[in-house]
Structure 1
Amino acid sequence: MKKNLPDKFGARLLRPDRTRFRLWAPGRKEAYVELEPGRADATRIPMQAKKEGWFEAEAACGAGTRYRYCFEDGLSVPDPASRMQDGDVHDASVVVDPSAYRWRHTRWRGRPWSEAVIYELHAGALGGFEGVRAQLPRLAKLGITAVELMPIADFPGGRNWGYDGVLPYAPDRAYGSPEALKALIDDAHGLGLMVFLDVVYNHFGPDGNYLHAYAPSFFREDVQTPWGPAIDFRRRPVREFFTGNAMYWLHEFRFDGLRLDAVHAISEQDWLEEMASDVRQAIDRQRQVHLVIEHDGNAVSLLEHEFDAQWNDDGHHVLHRLLTDENQGYYRDYDDQPAALLARCLAEGFVYQGEPSAHRDGKPRGKPSAHLPPTSFVLFLQNHDQIGNRALGERLRTLARVRGRTQALRAAIALVLLSPQIPLIFMGEEYGVETPFLYFTSHGPELAQAVREGRRKEFASFEAFADGTGAEIPDPNEASTFEASREGLFEAEGDWHAYYQALLRCRREALMPHLDAARAIGARALGPQAVEARWSLGDGRTLAIHANFGEQAVAATAPADSAGLLFESRPDAARRLREGWLDPACTVAWMEAGTP
């Protein structure tokens, strides 16, 4: 690696019996490293003050040593770059030997981005790293090519979505050890699976972050985010802390890619390009490493350079609107001519490309995206946010069933899995389970009450919770809320699972080899609830998809006589389409020879 930025922070093992400790504490004049705190043999070693707020010390200790940083006023804190905690976020940090794990699949170099079929999961819901590891053969058999872990950085308590992390370098001990995480990734590579990690660089959680006490310049009070003062990416040590973190996961743990959460909340957007460029330069060029963003502003410029793709929230929102008729919250931005908006999504990527957003007080959102390849967009019907941020955590299968739209949902699944955009599936979706995925935490009493009240206020504007009591909203801090989110996730394989497997087999055999050069030809609405779209593929053929989510047949462009049927979500739908009619609640995909 050209840049070994992770070594600038935290404890680095120099030899089996010697460790170097480094801390950035510009708000302090003195700092100490305390070895084995709380024990009779505890040792406090003064750290040497360096330039620009750095402190450094070396000690005769090795892997497994517990330590904390201390200051002149008696404050004692864990290492902000801890690689492992001796318990939870407030406890001592532990020196780790990064070479302790012996990798078995050393020749793995990753897979092309165009082959990605992403499976998002919560490690805790599956029983920790070992539980995820046990599911890998099943996922590979299904047709998944990339497993994406929701954030695993150490968070307070034993259960959390992961977005309350405060120690970005430390895998949470509730899930297992660093070696257990490496074993999971190693097994995945042996099965041909990539592993991505969701990382949070826009804020720290509310419990266990001590940086304000010794590095207040880590934050800027003049810029506020939904989580408090913004992280100050104008400062070089701050940039290096997070760039180093990205490299740490990709290099030491051999993750195949990162998904960066809500990067629109990072005030210095130029850091994103800088970080991505550093990663590209530092990682072995023989490896295929992928960087994906979530960005509410539809940041086209980031996708033109170092980033592979962005989560396509526009695509999700308009599909959800078509399937459920919901138009509250941000869904109201997709209430007018949703089929036309979906056609734009399929042809051009984003729906909002500079238009004013009603949900955002009329402010414009996005930039033109039609020049980007379809693989620049990750498309999904469900993910952790779109289920868990609902008051009752209902999955789309539940919402569709109660509205009598199950067949329409199956049509939407076929569209997502056969579109040239990169598909993402949320855990359990492939079984059609109706297990809710709720928002859960394990905070102390005071913070738990604040979260509880915050959830009630969040949904007070929704008709179902208009009285503001939130009586039906599950308490995020109750253990039962977490348990309800993991019950029955993997049912016996049935028709729903077979449907996903057939679609992914079709994608693997007919589409994947030709997606690198895929380009949209065009798309149009077929009435208020149906669309047709066409893409040119790398082998010169044309993919055509017709999808109808409504209850009435609509006139559609019949495929060419030479077109071969790729998939139909309902029997006889292809025959009817050849007659110029697209039946209700169905999707039909064709492959046409040559170019238009």
Structure 2
Amino acid sequence: MPLKTVEYGSHGAQRLDAHHTRFTLWAPDAFYVSLELRDGRSLPLIPQADGWFALEIPCPAGTRYRFNIDGELEVPDPASRAQDGGLAGWSVVVDPRDYHWRHPHWKGRPWQEAVIYEVHVGAMGGYANVARHLPRLAEMGVTAIELMPLAQCQGQRNWGYDGALLYAPHDSYGSPQALKQLIDDAHGLGLMVMLDVVYNHFGPEGNYLSRYASPFFRKDSHTPWGAAIDYQRPPVRDFFIDNALMWLLEYRFDGLRLDAVHAIDDPAFLHQLAHQVRRHTAPDRHVWLTLENEFNQAGLLEKSFDAQWNDDGHNTLHVLLTGETDAYYAEFADNPTQKLARCLSQGFVFQGEDNRHGVARGEPSGHLPPSAFVLFLQNHDQIGNRAAGERLHHLCAPQALRAATALLLLSPMIPLFFMGDESAAPEPFLFFTDYTGELADAVREGRRKEFAEFSTFASPDAHSTVADPNAPETFARSRPDFRVPERGPRREMLTLYQHLLALRQQQIVPRLEGSQALGSKVLAEGAVTASWRLGDASVLHITVNLSGQSVPFVAPLAQPVLFQTPPDMTLDVQQHQRLVPYSALVSLVPPPTLSPLMESAHE
């Protein structure tokens, strides 16, 4: 007799009550599937309709198990909730109610309050060590931490984008209970916790779906990581939607960031995932869905998703700050100042224009609110995908970085920064994995080929200087030291972050709901001024000069200065001012006063 189905949680080992567990596997290519228990028992699963196999047995939490396919291949549960011994170990039956929440009434925070701090859990020493940093982050003004992907992958060290078992938090970081405690601790301090999830591919090792569930993948479409996933099939679609619901409902994450949805390229699936998340989460709970999307699809942000990581903004600022125009930065080499002005007033830079490959990219985005865009000066990708993993403070003038940081932390867009940015951590963040044999060789060589478009690594000899991703010292070098000296550049950077975040919390955040861009204009090469009408009708002006040249500028009358760098930049009695090199001027005009500058401002 077929087993009853449930609306949520159909994949994997589902606890039915204190004594019974149902094991479910979608294996349409398999003739026979058995449940292999570590106590030596082998139990056949019962075939169901549409390629499903299932079995309900007396089975406590903590039971170790695997599936056997056709008597030939033992595999982990693709929906394993935990692994004992990594990918090659045993899947573990987990009771989702095994943690007593100390802050069960936490509802999250409004999106406009988000100040996001991205972290790699492994590089910070695991869940418990991340938790030790939470008080200082909350005190500094961070309101959300975003964890790089946690799904179980091969080895002890990995960025997380090679996940093979998407439901199982990586066992080298701590137990599922330790992850829940981290989230609970964060909520107790008023911090949201977001998770980066990868639904566009599986890692190169430890995933066996193609052996017993080949319809999981399409034969007519490929991604950079292999065959594309077939999201139109209900078992496949539900696999990812159920995973999203697990993180949000069982672990109580406050939001998800979907990695590289341009590799999913299925808006219908993405809209359905977002719909199911809204449907299953309480209406009074703040749950936020964000995207990484090279396609710049504004339509996804109109209906289903709250924000997108704005790579356009980063790339434009990087070119202006560093002068680098290699590889993907080449798209932003022409008229970068105009591109920055467009980013500040309309969000995306590319809104249908051809990219460097001659392909139209993006959709009009000027109608979206500033909060639909997550702005950053660097993140794990933009640091780690450099051959030497240098951080931005190694690449540009410190005064320029101060001005750009003011723009980042005081604009109405949602700011994000990477662990260590706040104190100019000297350590690099390198790409690291923990593979062996042929796969290690392939990853190592592939990494070197990635830098072929960068002029500094054009020669074969230069390739030998690229850090070996699999070497333990590559990971060790990527762990930031958060101890900040009492004096010096690191202390000055930390003081700047603390000051700007205090200003944001006190003066900007209470006014953000209902904000809209008023316009922007180019003052000179490297210098832009932009304004936004905030929700209470006050007007925020930000003017930055990221060039090494002074720029003529007429400041609006009666413009209260909220922040300026350098701090000794002054106005004369006629309000005439030259913006000195590497400067920022931020003002907030209370309602109903409007600045004459922005009445005539245009892009």
TM-score normalized with structure 2 length: 0.95
Distance 1:535 1:365 in 2: 26
**Counterpart residue identity of residue 366, structure 2:** A
Aligned to 2:18: 16
Specify the SS of the correspondent of 2:476.
Answer: helix
Report the CA distance shift for 1:5/1:457 in structure 2 as closer, same or farther (over 3 A).
farther
Is 1:259 the counterpart of 2:251 in the alignment?
Answer: no
Structure 1 residue 6 displacement after superposition: 4.5
* Secondary structure in structure 2 of the residue aligned to 1:97: coil
| Partner Cα separation in structure 2 for residue 285 and residue 455 of structure 1 | 45
Deviation at 1:138, TM superposition (A): 0.7
8 Å contact kept, 2:420–2:480? no
Task: Assess if the C-alpha contact under 8 Å between 1:293 and 1:307 holds in 2.
Answer: yes
Sort the Cα spacing of 1:301 and 1:595 in 2 relative to 1 into closer, same or farther, 3 A. Answer: farther
**1:198 maps to what in 2?**
196
1:61 offset after TM fit, Å?
A: 1.4
Matches within 5 A, 1:11-410: 11-36=13-38, 41-358=39-356, 361-400=357-396, 405-410=397-402
1:522 to 519, 523, 533: 519
CA distance in 2, matches of 1:574, 1:196: 41
Q: Which runs of 5+ in 2 are unaligned?
A: 595-603
How far is the alpha carbon of 1:96 from its aligned partner?
Answer: 0.5
1:270-328 deviations in Å (ceiling 9; x for gaps)? 10001101110110111100000000010100000110000000000000000000001
Cα offset for 1:268?
Answer: 2.2
- Work out the CA distance in 1 between the residues paired with 2:99 and 2:473: 35
Q: How many residues align?
A: 583
Partners of 1:435 and 1:489 within 8 A in 2: no
SS in 2 for 1:556: strand
Q: 496, 500, 519: which is aligned to 2:497?
A: 500
Match for residue 491 of structure 1 among 484, 487, 511 = 484
Residue 481 of structure 1: how far off its partner (Å):
0.1
Encode CA deviations 1:519-554: one digit per residue, 9 max, x unaligned: 000001111111000000111110000100111111
Amino acid aligned to 1:150 = M
Distance 2:485 2:177 in 1: 31
Measured in 2, the distance between the counterparts of 1:463 and 1:379 equals: 27
Give the distance between the partners of 2:299 and 2:235, measured in 1 at CA. 25
How far the C-alpha of 1:4 sits from its partner, in A, is 6.3
Cα distance in 2 for residues equivalent to 1:362 and 1:557: 40
**In 1, Cα distance between the equivalents of 2:326 and 2:250?**
44
In structure 2, the residue matched to 1:570 is 566
Between the aligned partners of 1:367 and 1:549, the Cα distance in structure 2 is 28
- The corresponding residue for 1:551 is 548
Q: Which residue of 1 aligns with 2:600?
A: none
The CA deviation at 1:73 is: 3.4
Shift of 1:489: 4.1
| Structure 1 residue 581, shift from structure 2 partner | 2.0
Secondary structure of 1:423's counterpart equals strand
Q: Deviation digits for residues 156-181 of structure 1, max 9, x if unmatched?
A: 00000000001010000000000000
Separation in 2, partners of 1:178, 1:468: 44
- Distance across 2 between alignment mates of 1:553 and 1:117: 32
Please give the alpha-carbon distance, in whole angstroms, between the structure 2 residues aligned to 1:4 and 1:309.
31
Shift of the alpha carbon at 1:488? Answer: 2.0
TM-superposed deviation, 1:556: 2.0
Structure 1 unaligned spans of 5+ = none
How much has 1:363 moved relative to structure 2? 1.1
Q: What is the DSSP-based 3-state SS (H/G/I as helix, E as strand, rest coil) of the residue aligned with 2:15? A: strand
TM superposition shift of 1:578? 3.4
Whole-angstrom distance in 2 between the partners of 1:505 and 1:461: 41
Aligned residues of 1:258 and 1:290 also touching (Cα < 8 A): yes
CA distance in 1, matches of 2:7, 2:218: 23
Asked if structure 2 preserves the Cα contact closer than 8 Å seen for 1:393 and 1:438, the reply is yes
**Distance 1:5-1:253 versus aligned 2 partners, 3 A rule:** farther
Structure 1 vs Structure 2: percent identity of aligned residues? 53
Whether the 8 Å CA contact 1:536–1:595 is kept in 2: the answer is no
| SS in structure 2 at match of 1:456 | helix
Equivalent residue, structure 1, for 2:435: 443
What residue in structure 2 maps to residue 478 of structure 1?
Answer: 471
Q: Distance in 1 between matches of 2:40 and 2:261?
A: 41
Residues 122, 161 of structure 1: 8 Å contact kept: yes
Give how far 1:572 is off.
2.3
Structure 1 segments (4+ residues) deviating >3 Å: 3-6
Q: Distance in 2 between matches of 1:378 and 1:492?
A: 30
Q: Aligned equivalents of 1:557 and 1:386: distance in 2?
A: 35
Equivalent-residue separation in structure 2 for 1:313 and 1:6 (angstroms): 34
**CA separation in 2, counterparts of 1:578 and 1:246?**
54
CA distance in 1, matches of 2:321, 2:468: 28
- Do the aligned partners of 2:544 and 2:583 also contact (CA within 8 Å) in 1? yes
Q: CA deviation at 1:373?
A: 0.3
Describe the superposition over 1:427-470 as per-residue Cα deviations: whole angstroms up to 9, x where unpaired. 00000112100000001221110001101111123222212341
What is the distance in 2 between the residues matched to 1:140 and 1:283? 26
**Equivalences for 1:532-551 in 2 at 5 Å?**
532-551=529-548
Write the distance in 2 (CA, Å) between the matches of 1:498 and 1:55: 58
Secondary structure, counterpart of 1:196 in structure 2? strand
Q: Which moves more between the two structures, 251-260 or 23-32?
A: 23-32
Q: Which moved more, 1:10-19 or 1:61-70?
A: 10-19
Q: Does structure 1 retain, via aligned residues, the 8 Å contact 2:149–2:198?
A: yes
Q: SS where residue 52 of structure 1 aligns?
A: helix
Q: 1:420 to 1:574 in 2, by over 3 A?
A: farther
Structure 2: which amino acid aligns with 1:22?
T
| Paired residues of 1:559 and 1:590 also in contact (CA < 8 A) | no
SS at structure 2 position matched to 1:588:
strand
Distance in 2 (CA, whole Å) between partners of 1:578 and 1:277 is 52
Task: State yes or no: 1:467 paired with 2:459.
Answer: yes
TM-score in terms of structure 1 length = 0.96
Question: Aligned-residue CA RMSD in angstroms?
Answer: 1.3
Mark the CA change 1:4 to 1:366 in structure 2 (over 3 Å): closer, same or farther.
farther
- Say which SS state the counterpart of residue 523 (structure 1) adopts: strand
Distance 1:204 1:47, change over 3 A: same
| CA distance in structure 2 between the partners assigned to 1:19 and 1:94 by the alignment | 12
Shift of 1:574: 4.6
SS at match of 1:82: coil
